[in-house]
Amino acid sequence: MRRALPLLIGLLAVSSCLSSAARADDTLSFPVLVPLTGFLSLEGTSQRNGAVLALKQTPAGIAIASEVVDTGTSPEAAVTALERAAGRGTVGAVAASMLGTQMLAMLPLAGELKLPLVTVSGTASITEQGNPWVFRFFPGDAVTKAAHARYVVEELGKRQPAVIYQTTAYGQSGKAHLDAAFEALGVTPVFEEGVDPAAKDLLPVLTKALAAKPDVLVLHLHSGPTALLLRQAASSGVTLPIVAGSAMHQPSTAALLEPAELKGVCAETAASPISGGTPEVKAFTDAYRAAFGKEPDAFALGQYDGMTMVLEAVKAGARSPDAIRKALSAETFQGLAMTYKSDGKGNMAHSAVIVCYDGASRVPVLVKRYDDPTLAAK
């Protein structure tokens, strides 16, 4: 099968001294292979920005370089990008696509090449392949969907959800975990339907969902479809509470909507940097704004934390992909979003939060935090 060619976006020089020595054999490369075009472009851009910002923190005396490659939405393009990146010098680790189908396609090759893949993909199955080279710095669906369902049932008191999800691997994974979480809570959705991310009109599925007489709408969609459905719900006068997936917490998603269209909308995510937090999170948010002229989200923060943990391993002496893998597998890392620790499968993130919009602002308020494994609410 011929593989689609990835689009090379550019070379990011992040070493403290990129002279001829920075191109020598002792230079460590950290490619950023993420979707910057297609239906996941907003999320992928955030992922790229987080990786780029982290890689500017080059440990003293160490030569580091990184290229950014657009993987689009094709699994073949992601595999091609990984193959090419592996042939350009010594690769320490890869900031790898958050698109589940691309991750699943890259995993076998990463195993062959023995290269750590550092990602914020939420697709649950990527850490269920028995591959020791994948590290996820965003809570997987087992965590986020449990929080999603618990907030609907326990906090909102709703027991008749209508679930609208994406037909992608991401959507199928989230839907399966939502089903399991609702079943554990003794709840059966009154409506469930998947939609293609390319759909231009979601009013038909919204109409069918409302006909089932739900008491809450539960969404697990990518950024663009989330905004489209919320806009159409608002214009249709829908007053039901809506609890969406992590795409909704993104400032880039909220920017597609008027504040009034967000009234009564909540979302699960790993973190919300713009909602405030520690001085370190504020410093990250300020640096992100200065570097990219936009607001950060949990995907950017998770990828930033992941690549920062990689650089901490390098700073501590790791100079090979296997040494970096061992550090990621064994160490505990206090990131900006949360504390990260591998569960033995590469799941590094074990907390989720719920944020809600008041209809007057595009900045959400953090209303609930859930921690794994018990997911006890705080």
> Where along the chain do its domains lie?
28-139+277-350, 141-275+353-377
Q: What local confidence, expressed as pLDDT, does residue 165 receive?
A: 98
Q: What is the pLDDT of residue 246?
A: 95
Helix-helix angle 41-55:298-315, to 10 degrees: 30
The yes-or-no answer to whether 28-139+277-350 and 141-275+353-377 have a common fold is yes
Residue 61: predicted pLDDT: 86
Return the residue matching tokens 């893949």. Answer: 117
Could you tell me the pTM of the whole model? 0.86
Q: In whole angstroms, give the CA distance from residue 232 to residue 202.
A: 7
Taking only the tens of pLDDT, the chain with its 378 residues reads 333 333 334 434 443 333 333 344 579 999 999 999 999 999 999 999 999 999 998 888 889 999 999 999 999 999 999 999 999 889 999 999 999 999 999 999 999 999 999 999 988 899 999 999 999 999 999 999 999 999 999 999 999 999 999 999 889 999 999 999 999 999 999 999 999 999 999 999 999 999 999 999 999 999 999 999 999 999 999 999 999 999 999 999 999 999 999 999 999 999 999 998 899 999 999 999 999 999 999 999 999 999 999 999 999 999 999 999 999 999 999 999 999 999 999 999 999 999 999 999 999 999 999 987 445 444
Give the model's pLDDT for residue 53: 98
Neighbours of 271 (CB within 10 A): 31
SS3 for 250?
A: coil
User: What kind of architecture, by CATH, is found in domain 141-275+353-377?
Assistant: 3-Layer(aba) Sandwich (3.40)
What pLDDT is recorded for position 15?
37
| Phi–psi pair at 368, nearest 5 degrees | -160, 145
Tokens describing residue 148: 């999603």
- 28-139+277-350: which CATH number, 3.40.50.410, 1.10.150.20, 3.30.390.50, 3.40.50.2300? 3.40.50.2300
Beta strands 191-195; 161-166: pairing state: parallel
> With contact defined as beta carbons under 8 Å apart, do 217 and 162 qualify?
yes
